[in-house]
Chain A
Amino acid sequence: KQEVTQIPAALSVPEGENLVLNCSFTDSAIYNLQWFRQDPGKGLTSLLLIQSSQREQTSGRLNASLDKSSGRSTLYIAASQPGDSATYLCAVRLGAGGFKTIFGAGTRLFVKA
């Protein structure tokens, strides 16, 4: 059974700091991994999608890496800003034959001005 864990559960950093959010999964047979942000009371916004054959994806100040063999993904946020404050979720879509997507519990990020 696939399990997705995110560490830390919460993080508070001063503005401008670079930071890393971690996501681990127990079964390496995944189809893809997607990072989202969720603002309070809002839906999810897609940040980055990494296919199982890829190692990393970048968008602006965000970089996500994927190491399937070790069951890990990291989301790197450069030069953090108060507007980055949100909950960050990673989601793993199961491999061939399955359509389920399993979400981690998220990391609550607070960036202090």
Chain B
Amino acid sequence: GAGVSQSPSNKVTEKGKDVELRCDPISGHTALYWYRQSLGQGLEFLIYFQGNSAPDKSGLPSDRFSAERTGGSVSTLTIQRTQQEDSAVYLCASSPTGSEQFFGPGTRLTVL
């Protein structure tokens, strides 16, 4: 079956602009995670959605970052007023029960 998909695969933007990154989880998966992987760094947890529960936003680095999940399926991560330090690969993962995570290919964001 189809895996987790993310779009766009690459995004180049200018400092100060807003960007939206999209994640399509595996159908039927109730849990969805966003992570960030900066160059040479490990994966950093950003946010977690589980069904209709309030999301765990404890990993969002600043209030410029937000995410939503519509209809319990597709999720969008929005970064407002992008900064150069936001440049990274943004990875999305979904999970059927909040257990084993399956990752998408990521979106490489470059802020000039």
Pairwise interchain contact B45-A43, C-beta atoms closer than 8 A: no
Interface SS, A side: strand
Question: Which B residues lie within 8 Å of A46 (CB)?
Answer: 100-103
Pairwise interchain contact B56-A99, C-beta atoms closer than 8 A: yes
Interface SS, B side: strand
Distance between Cα atoms of A34 and B98 in the complex (Å): 12
Distance between Cα atoms of A36 and B91 in the complex (Å): 14
Distance between Cα atoms of A36 and B103 in the complex (Å): 10
Distance between Cα atoms of A98 and B100 in the complex (Å): 15
The residue that A49 contacts in the complex, of B59, B93, B99, with Cβ under 8 A, is B99
Pairwise interchain contact B48-A42, C-beta atoms closer than 8 A: no
- Nearest to B100 among chain A residues (CB) is A49
Question: Which B residues lie within 8 Å of A104 (CB)?
Answer: 42
Q: Map CB proximity to A onto B29-67 as digits: 1 under 8 Å, 0 otherwise.
A: 001010100000111110010100000101100000000
